[in-house]
Amino acid sequence: MPIKMPQKELDVLSLLLRSEQPMTISDIVAMNPDYTINMIKPIIRKLSKLEMVEVAGIVYRGTSIARTFKPTKTAHLVLHRSTSLSVSFLRITHS
């Protein structure tokens, strides 16, 4: 059964999947100015609970310490399935 995810969560997850390096919450916000740190924190927390993202490490940013996040193997499978289902659905509805 496919997991339904809100668009913002899918956006964050796909951004992490496309990134070659683990990203901090600030990195994610910098990539999409429509988001704020306060919007991304709960999304990362939820994706972490769903085992879609994990902490990849800790980095120093100026005088602060920040966690970096990367997608898990589960995230790759879920996003691939949801993309395949969407494409299949589009093919059926447009035929």
6-34 pLDDT, tens digit each: 889 888 988 998 899 999 999 999 998 89
**Residue 93 reports pLDDT greater than 50:** no
Rounded (5°) CA angle 38-36-43: 55
CA–CA distance, 53 with 73 (Å, rounded to integer):
9
Task: With beta carbons less than 8 A apart as the criterion, state whether 56 and 23 touch.
Answer: no
DSSP characters for the chain? Answer: -PPP--HHHHHHHHHHHH-SS-B-HHHHHHH-TT--HHHHHHHHHHHHHTTSEEEEEEEEETTEEEEEEEE-HHHHHHHHHHHHHHHHHHHHHH-
Question: In this predicted model, what pLDDT tens digit does every residue of 41-83 receive, in sequence order?
Answer: 999 999 999 889 999 999 998 899 999 999 998 777 766 665 5
pLDDT at 77: 73
pLDDT at 3: 61
Indicate the pLDDT class of residue 35, thresholds 50, 70 and 90: very high
Is the pTM of the predicted complex or chain greater than 0.85?
Answer: no
Rounded to the nearest integer, the mean pLDDT of the chain is: 81
Q: Residue 67's beta-bridge partner residues?
A: 58
Task: With beta carbons less than 8 A apart as the criterion, state whether 22 and 57 touch.
Answer: yes
